[in-house]
Amino acid sequence: MKNILSLVLLIATMAFAPDNVRTRFKPSAGYNHVAVAPGSFGAYLQTLRLKPAGTHTRTYTGSIAHTDPYTAAVIDMSIGTQDLQQCADAVMRLRAEYLYQQGNYNAIAFNFTSGFKCDYTHYANGYRYANERWVLRGKKDYSYPNFLRYMNLVFSYAGTLSLQKELKPVTNPNDIKAGDVFIKGGSPGHCFIVMDVTENAAHKKQFLLAQSFMPAQNIQVLQNGSPWFSLDTIADIPYGELVNFKYLKRF
Is 13 among the domain residues?
no
Indicate if the alpha-carbon torsion angle 82, 191, 35, 40 is positive or negative. Answer: negative
Q: Per-residue pLDDT tens for 195-251?
A: 999 999 999 999 999 999 999 999 999 999 999 999 999 999 999 999 999 999 999
Is 10 among the domain residues?
no
Q: Per-residue pLDDT tens for 136-155?
A: 999 999 999 999 999 999 99
Q: Cα dihedral angle (242, 31, 177, 93), rounded to 10 degrees?
A: 70
- Asked if the peptide bond before residue 188 counts as cis, ω within 30 degrees of 0, the response is yes
Is 84 among the domain residues?
yes
Residue closest to 46 by CA, chosen among 29, 26, 28: 26
Provide the number of structural domains found in the chain. 1
Query: Containing domain of residue 88, as a range?
Result: 21-250
40-64 average pLDDT score: 98
Query: Residue 8: which pLDDT band, with cuts at 50, 70 and 90?
Result: very low
Is 2 among the domain residues?
no
Is 6 among the domain residues?
no
pLDDT score recorded for residue 14: 41
What is the chain's mean pLDDT, rounded? 93
Is 16 among the domain residues?
no
Is 5 among the domain residues?
no
